[in-house]
């Protein structure tokens, strides 16, 4: 199957307040976000043309920008409206939504307080689909910042070369953290276990799944999990805007059998998100 490179796709992108052709959404090679990682983004889903938890994602988008010491030049209402506009411009239906904000090319140095803040929103059709995270004292782990994903890209590439779909990340103390783009959950004895989100992003989908699980009467334990505990778990699943709720059958030498709890949360989340 031929895959169209992203820079050659057809469609529209919202860029600094205007809908423009996909091919015209370009930035300068000396953009500060490219050289110094001064960029934040969101990953969202639109179902039947409606973005799931759009306001919550925009609130986190703004919080991430503030953590990175810049302000978004548009209000939350303007960003929410822009997301709806570009989803509609690209045909509605089920889409992945990617807002991104970054410092421009006006200043090329570590300090760039006078650089312009650019905001873009792209959407595209997307049907349902052991390395370490940094110490939270030395990285803005609660921001969805572009630079934090470098180690994820490296880890995912290593995993794919070994025949796996993703990599499970450990925190700086060797405890289970998350996957490269999704949060991870396990089940044992009728209860759910998931790492404490103190050194990685507490995903909106993660929060939603925990809320839905508790609403079904399930016990959710947010706790420290060591890698050697994986042998004791029955089920494993990952959650995220792109992954939604996806069962996992294998993590390295550990095997899991998708069961009733994973399937129940898959169905519940799908029904909740697509309302």
CA–CA separation, 130 and 189 (whole Å): 26
Quick one: pLDDT at residue 113?
87
What residue ranges of the chain have pLDDT lower than 50? 1, 129-130
CA–CA separation, 92 and 253 (whole Å): 41
Annotation says 161 is catalytic: no
Quick one: pLDDT at residue 1?
45
What letter does residue 48 receive in the DSSP assignment? T
Residue located via tokens 């090319």? 105
H/E stretch holding 39: strand 39-41
C-alpha distances out from residue 32 to 43, 74, 102, 146, 272, Å? 22, 20, 8, 12, 39
Rounded to 5 degrees, φ, ψ at 151 are -65, -30
Quick one: pLDDT at residue 217?
96
Q: Which CATH number do you get for residue 56?
A: 3.30.470.10
The answer to whether residues 71 and 110 belong to one domain is yes
> Does 1 fall in a domain?
no
CA–CA separation, 36 and 124 (whole Å): 27
The answer to whether residues 110 and 150 belong to one domain is no
Quick one: pLDDT at residue 130?
43
The answer to whether residues 90 and 151 belong to one domain is no
Our CA angle for 272, 258, 241, nearest 5°, is 40
Quick one: pLDDT at residue 201?
84
What letter does residue 138 receive in the DSSP assignment? S
The answer to whether residues 99 and 26 belong to one domain is yes
pTM score, whole prediction: 0.75
CA–CA separation, 210 and 205 (whole Å): 9
Number of domains composing the chain:
2
Q: Which CATH number do you get for residue 233?
A: 3.20.10.10
The answer to whether residues 22 and 100 belong to one domain is yes
CA–CA separation, 191 and 207 (whole Å): 17
CA–CA separation, 239 and 175 (whole Å): 19
C-alpha distances out from residue 124 to 104, 175, 232, Å? 24, 35, 39
Start-to-end Cα distance in the chain: 33
CA–CA separation, 200 and 135 (whole Å): 9
Q: Are the CB atoms for 225 and 175 separated by under 8 Å?
A: yes
Quick one: pLDDT at residue 106?
92
C-alpha distances out from residue 163 to 201, 247, 252, Å? 26, 17, 10
> Does 2 fall in a domain?
no
12: containing domain: 7-125
The answer to whether residues 21 and 103 belong to one domain is yes
Closest by CA position to 4, among listed 22, 26, 31: 22
Identify the domain boundary among 103, 125, 147. Answer: 125
From 63, 83, 116, 144, active-site residue: 144
Quick one: pLDDT at residue 154?
79
Alpha helix positions (H), 52-112: 54-67, 76-89
H/E stretch holding 157: helix 150-161
Rounded to 5 degrees, φ, ψ at 175 are -95, 155
The answer to whether residues 17 and 82 belong to one domain is yes
Identify the domain boundary among 98, 125, 152. Answer: 125
């Amino acid at each position: 199957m031929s895959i169209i490179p992203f820079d050659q796709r057809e469609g529209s992108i919202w860029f600094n307040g205007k809908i423009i052709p996909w091919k015209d959404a370009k930035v300068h090679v000396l953009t500060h976000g490219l050289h110094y990682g001064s960029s934040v983004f969101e990953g969202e889903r639109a179902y039947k043309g409606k973005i799931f938890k759009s306001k919550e994602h925009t609130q986190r988008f703004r919080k991430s920008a503030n953590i990175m010491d810049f302000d978004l030049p548009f209000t939350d209402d303007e960003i929410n409206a822009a997301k709806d506009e570009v989803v509609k411009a690209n045909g509605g239906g089920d889409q992945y939504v990617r807002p991104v904000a970054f410092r421009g090319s006006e200043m090329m140095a570590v300090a760039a307080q006078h650089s312009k803040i650019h905001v873009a929103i792209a959407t595209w059709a997307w049907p349902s689909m052991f390395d370490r995270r940094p110490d939270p004292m030395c990285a803005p782990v609660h921001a969805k910042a572009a630079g934090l994903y470098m180690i994820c890209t490296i880890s995912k590439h290593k995993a794919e070369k070994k025949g796996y779909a993703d990599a499970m990340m450990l925190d700086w103390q060797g405890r289970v953290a998350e996957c490269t783009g999704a949060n991870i959950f396990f089940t044992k004895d009728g209860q759910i276990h998931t790492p404490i989100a103190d050194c990685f992003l507490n995903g909106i989908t993660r929060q939603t799944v925990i809320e839905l699980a508790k609403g079904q009467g399930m016990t959710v334990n947010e706790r420290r999990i060591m890698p050697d505990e994986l042998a004791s778990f029955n089920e494993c699943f990952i959650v995220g805007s792109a992954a939604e709720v996806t069962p996992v059958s294998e993590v390295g030498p550990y095997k899991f059998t998708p069961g009733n709890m994973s399937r129940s949360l898959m169905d519940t989340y799908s029904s909740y998100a697509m309302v």
